[in-house]
Amino acid sequence: MIRNITWILLTLAILSGCKSSITDRLISKINRDCGSRTEPMCTIVLKDATGFKWDKLYLFGAWTISDSIKNKIRVNYDGEDVQDDYRRLLFTYNDKVVYEEDFKSFDYGNSTIGISVDIDSLLQAKVPYFTPSNAIFTVDKGKIEGSCDKCFEYSLTPQKK
């Protein structure tokens, strides 16, 4: 009996570690769709990398406090403040938070994504979020000097619609 419980717990621990982040899925999708070298017009449709339903994507910069996030998304939110050097992707669906992820946009030890948008301007815009139909980005792949050999920075620039 104890051996069965141990086996189940070990299996759950292994499977929970297999869940990849949105940023990891984005990087994999970019490498798969754009090849090892991105072309000038390589584009990524964000909804193809998420794996869940969402209707709004909000971006928040470093040091954004949870009260500001709650006021901006206008749904029940009890998350944490965004830490220094991190950005937050926050997805909602039908006025509920369905997923959020903090990511470093600069890292010497891992590949990273950066979203080339002025977050403050976006959050002040009439529509302060992306939707599945307009979350389409042009990709620029660059090397961060001093980073690991296989570490890249993938800069995502929103395409104008």
Domain boundaries, given as residue ranges, for the chain: 20-158
pLDDT of residue 144: 78
Higher pLDDT, 120 or 129: 129
Give the tens place of pLDDT for each residue, 38-89: 556 688 899 999 989 999 999 999 999 999 999 999 998 999 999 999 999 9
Tokens 């909804």: give the residue: 47
pLDDT of residue 37: 57
Residues pairing with 100 in the sheet: 90
Kindly report the number of other CB atoms within 10 A of residue 71's CB atom: 10
Pull the structure tokens for residue 8: 């189940």
Taking the C-alpha atoms of residue 58 and residue 90, their distance in angstroms, rounded to an integer, is 5
